[in-house]
Amino acid sequence: MTQFSDLNLDPRVLQALADANYQTPTPIQAGAIPPALEGRDVLGIAQTGTGKTAGFVLPMITRLAQGRARARMPRSLVLCPTRELAAQVAENFDKYAKHVKLTKALLIGGVSFKDQDALIDRGVDVLIATPGRLLDHFERGKLLLTGVQIMVVDEADRMLDMGFIPDIERIFGLTPFTRQTLFFSATMAPEIERITKTFLSNPAKVEVARAATTGENIEQGVVVFKPHRRENEASEKRAVLRALIDGEGEACSNAIIFCNRKIDVDIVAKSLKKYGYNAEAIHGDLEQSQRMRTLDAFRDGKLRLLIASDVAARGLDIPAVSHVFNFDVPSHAEDYVHRIGRTGRAGRSGKALTICSPRDEKYLTAIEALVRKEIPRVENPLKDAPPREEHPRREEKAEKRGRRDRREDRPQREPRQPEPVFVEAAPVEVAEAPRPERAERPQREERPRREDRRPRGEPRDEKVVGMGDDVPSFIRMSFAERRAG
């Protein structure tokens, strides 16, 4: 059996592996490390949970052990589809390179640009980044990729699903043509195969498992769920999930529950917490600090149930996951393989249960065609018993209302009086009374004609009432006479 000591790794790397109690490489590691140490391009295909991360980190550390990085010019580049996977690669690098003086920088979203710029300015040997944040630094003029010697693309098929392929092609164009490229993927979609033919030069192909196969140590099952009423499908489905968790008992030490949509992740998490389960949600819309705290709590055993979207289905190394529950059947058959691959890792046994509603049967058929076997059916634990009400307090309130209505001392309501019946009578003709004649209006006095009127400025002849006969002359004067005077 091959040992790590047989792979020509740097002695300081072997010491770090011994400290972590790692002696025997996995098949993907044993197949990828030798050609990577020779400087060849590597195309690695293996299902999730097979140790692909160490397959490129270990030879990278060995090759970079000699040399020194320059400011803003990293010597190697690792591209990851998600922040969590990038952070995990950084943790693996710290574990395996603790006896080697190499520097690293982690470029992911949700972290200040200022802190990341400070690391890049000092010079880093290994740059671990997501495509979007890497291009942000490049466009701001803070990063040069002309010094990259080794480039790694991890979880390439997940990059394709998330729409990162145009960014990957652009980043390839920014790196030197003479670089070494290590390309790892769980499946080989036609678009991924096109990229490998374009950017890899005579790669050493390492395929340790048939694409889209499930682990033999994972017990699988599917519950065919039919709601009693369509409008109650979501609440009844959550009741089935709780019944499955309770049915596993203590055997379910921890579990990941997968939903297709982010909004369902939050709803399922709140529902489980309301019923007393130790559960938290994780998806792409949460702050990075909160996502890391939730993952750390799950790894440390402080959190039992992790409700997640597919952001947590790929690449995360959480070895001791006892169960996986698919609250929704994944719409892409390949995602089923990656989801249930979170359990049964490192030689452990695991269990994966899926809830399938009638609308998801077509997706279940595609999954069974992909894995080339029928998934065993599991009886619905709530088949005979009615599902628990999503809002338990409603039953208590209804019971209290019933008790109040049945009180004997409560005054009885008076019976309703019958409403009067109105009969429409025949119309009666009524003679119209004569209208009173309108009185004639008195005719208005005829106004004098314009020519008979008093000229403007001429004094009036009539006496002024109230002033007496002796009126001062200046009062009787016209304005024209006053101006002339």
- Per-domain residue ranges for the chain? 4-207, 218-389
Task: Note the pLDDT of residue 83.
Answer: 86
Average pLDDT for 264-293: 90
CATH fold of 4-207: Rossmann fold (3.40.50)
Task: Note the pLDDT of residue 396.
Answer: 46
pLDDT tens-place string over residues 43-62:
998 876 678 889 999 999 99
Task: Grade residue 287 by pLDDT with cuts at 50, 70 and 90.
Answer: confident
Average pLDDT for 269-277: 95
Task: Note the pLDDT of residue 283.
Answer: 82
Name 181's Cβ contacts closer than 8 Å, sequence gap at least 6: 41, 42, 151, 152, 153, 199, 200, 201, 203
Average pLDDT for 330-349: 83
Residue showing tokens 């490229």? 181
Residue 450 identity (one-letter amino acid): R
Cα separation of 76 and 53, whole Å?
15
Cα separation of 335 and 437, whole Å?
96
Q: Considering only residues 187 and 307, tell me which one the structure prediction assigns the higher pLDDT.
A: 307
Low-confidence winner among 326-330, 336-340, 395-399, 436-440 (lowest mean pLDDT): 395-399
Percent of the chain scored above 70 by pLDDT? Answer: 75
Are 4-207 and 218-389 equal in CATH topology? Answer: yes
Average pLDDT for 234-261: 93
Cα separation of 424 and 320, whole Å?
84
pLDDT tens-place string over residues 400-426:
554 554 454 455 555 565 666 555 555
Task: Note the pLDDT of residue 453.
Answer: 59
CATH fold of 218-389: Rossmann fold (3.40.50)
Average pLDDT, the chain: 82
Task: Grade residue 18 by pLDDT with cuts at 50, 70 and 90.
Answer: very high
Strand partners, 185: 45
Average pLDDT for 176-203: 89
% helix / strand / coil in the chain, to the nearest 5? 40, 15, 45
pLDDT tens-place string over residues 113-143:
998 999 999 889 999 999 999 999 999 998 9
Q: What is the pTM of this model?
A: 0.66
